[in-house]
Structure 1
């Protein structure tokens, strides 16, 4: 058992100042994927190809998971994948069409950002108008950009999202001091002073009273924007799936590899999807 240390969700971070200079509207929460990709292609045209509208998240497990949930699927069912190659083929084809419409940047730029480091995200390097990120990462991304960044929900229905624990507080079940462990975790999750110190770096406090006391003390604009966004979408979340099984980190890496092979043209979509499903099944069975 564990207690959530903080709550966040996946979001779409966009460059507000860039879009203002281009005379294009900002993306909005609740856009369908066709609407979002049409918007992204329009941004690319408005910049004369200097900036792509969106990062290509075909290798991003967060975006893919939300897309699966919007279609009634899950990433996992127990210790197995909750989808098969046809779903992954559809996902890769969606982003192949986006590349054909020039809504996304080159494969080389996408692969530069696939590692997830904030400083390499294309929305802060100036190569895209929007990138996919965790909501609490807005603060770190803003530190790497002179332009003002904003955040909205990822494309698709809000109910595909869920309240995610960014980290957990947990104790060893064999500890000889269970009362002390419980007391420490209670302090970290329910004490107002501890909540003020921990702040919003990892996302919203899981304790509603802590949120109430800490939110008015926020001075950093990007922290407030991140917290306001998370609070605005919290009531729209769907049911949370179980935590990912052992092997999830390996699966995430396999998805990136499969997507990059398609982005670069080294593999066909079908071959990449079939290979991913076979390798993922083996990794989960290990």
Structure 2
């Protein structure tokens, strides 16, 4: 995630017109994307946008190139940005009627876009996508009622990314997979103490909405009720923030100014900068973390509570066809290729987590090397520990992610107590959700 204000574009020299169209789109967001008919002489030009960093962009561009080779009548212009900037621009594009033909969406925004009729139904009509190769329950995470409005682009789960090189240099053992939150406290404090206060054991997870979700799941609770209301209390949130605050004050977790960089992407995180030895994140981001450091990294399951890790199979992100696309059939073909085809799997690796198609995923895991093998092995080792995937978050979930970052930021800078901040969060969150 980052707060960049410009869309990054991968150069594609053979697509001058497509790139030119993308440039104009970034300047006048409401005027482009799929809003103009780009067919000529039997050729179709699609637009595709997603979020991610340069390493994910390379993998995605390679997958798109494989699609174009298999579909010579279709060319694809692409654009990407990091998380925060991408979502802001996508919202603006949708409001102006000019989003890309194929868009990557966050699970937290799915309900909002579905309710506003922004996403095409992929279970019928010209945009129908074959999902027979995906786990039906996992594919169901892209449903809004009876409509398949999105398809998971990868399976991820929650993890801690650990710098084993750093731990070895400090003489701190890598935590065991069965660790608890008390073990995490002990480990993180040892890193701080043995580094003379130069390195925190973990990046403070207090700003992370999804980390709080795992904390709740470990305690038999949920973020939301079935009808989209908050399912936790002020005390639940205050307890989580008090735990994080204690870690921060002791130096076991990063200070506020370093924690604030967590929205800037792996290359700017405390883990990459060497000021933290571990960080909460999805395993689908592992390759980006690995690319940001020369140290050796490893993945660990989350610290548990009462034998529960709070981890589950989550769509790392989803693909949707824009409802106003002039080329829904071709956009659906691109989507289907990206979630089903072995050539797409070879290009994408685990840059978005495990590949959606189960048969292809199995083939991929058998020959995986490097970062892909780390992620595949991690998922396999923890498959039995995964809780049931929750239903798609309600409209407003994306706003709560930002709200948590802002309010806990005030806590970490000493401007509010965890209890007062939790009360403020609950009040504002209820307003956002319309409660």
* TM-score of the pair, normalised by structure 2: 0.61
Equivalent-residue separation in structure 2 for 1:285 and 1:72 (angstroms): 25
- For the pair 1:282 / 2:427, whether they are aligned, the reply is no
Q: Choose which of 241, 262, 266 in structure 2 pairs with 1:118.
A: 266
Offset of residue 218 of structure 1: 3.4
Deviates more, 1:175-184 or 1:127-136: 175-184
Offset of residue 179 of structure 1: 7.1
Offset of residue 54 of structure 1: 1.1
Alignment of 1:106-145 (within 5 A): 106-113=255-262, 115-145=263-293
* Counterpart for residue 314 of structure 2: 164
- Structure showing greater Rg: 2
CA contact (8 A) 2:349 2:372 kept: no
Deviations 1:220-253 (A, max 9, x none): x223212221222123211111111111111011
Q: Choose which of 149, 152, 156 in structure 1 pairs with 2:300.
A: 152
- Partner of 1:25: helix, strand, or coil? coil
Deviates more, 1:120-129 or 1:162-171: 162-171
Equivalent-residue separation in structure 2 for 1:158 and 1:138 (angstroms): 23
Q: Choose which of 231, 239, 242 in structure 1 pairs with 2:388.
A: 239
- Partner of 1:228: helix, strand, or coil? helix
Equivalent-residue separation in structure 1 for 2:361 and 2:279 (angstroms): 27
Offset of residue 212 of structure 1: 2.0
Alignment of 1:4-153 (within 5 A): 4-77=152-225, 78-113=227-262, 115-153=263-301
Q: Choose which of 206, 218, 223 in structure 1 pairs with 2:368.
A: 218
Offset of residue 256 of structure 1: 1.1
Alignment of 1:245-260 (within 5 A): 245-260=394-409
Equivalent-residue separation in structure 1 for 2:371 and 2:339 (angstroms): 23
CA contact (8 A) 1:30 1:158 kept: no
**Higher relative CO (CA 8 A, sep ≥ 6), structure 1 or 2?**
1
* Counterpart for residue 347 of structure 2: 197
Offset of residue 175 of structure 1: 8.1
Offset of residue 112 of structure 1: 2.3
Aligned length: 284
* Counterpart for residue 23 of structure 2: none
Deviations 1:32-61 (A, max 9, x none): 111111111011111111111111111111
Offset of residue 139 of structure 1: 0.7
CA contact (8 A) 2:302 2:309 kept: no
CA contact (8 A) 2:303 2:309 kept: no
Equivalent-residue separation in structure 1 for 2:283 and 2:315 (angstroms): 12
Structure 1: runs of 5 or more not aligned: none
Deviates more, 1:183-192 or 1:8-17: 183-192
CA contact (8 A) 1:142 1:149 kept: yes
CA contact (8 A) 1:63 1:154 kept: no
Equivalent-residue separation in structure 2 for 1:32 and 1:242 (angstroms): 27
Q: CA 1:46/1:70 → structure 2, altered by over 3 Å: closer, same or farther?
A: same
Equivalent-residue separation in structure 2 for 1:198 and 1:105 (angstroms): 32
Deviations 1:182-231 (A, max 9, x none): 66554433332332233221110122210122234434x22321222122
Offset of residue 69 of structure 1: 0.7
* TM-score of the pair, normalised by structure 1: 0.91
CA contact (8 A) 2:301 2:309 kept: no
Q: CA 1:96/1:177 → structure 2, altered by over 3 Å: closer, same or farther?
A: closer
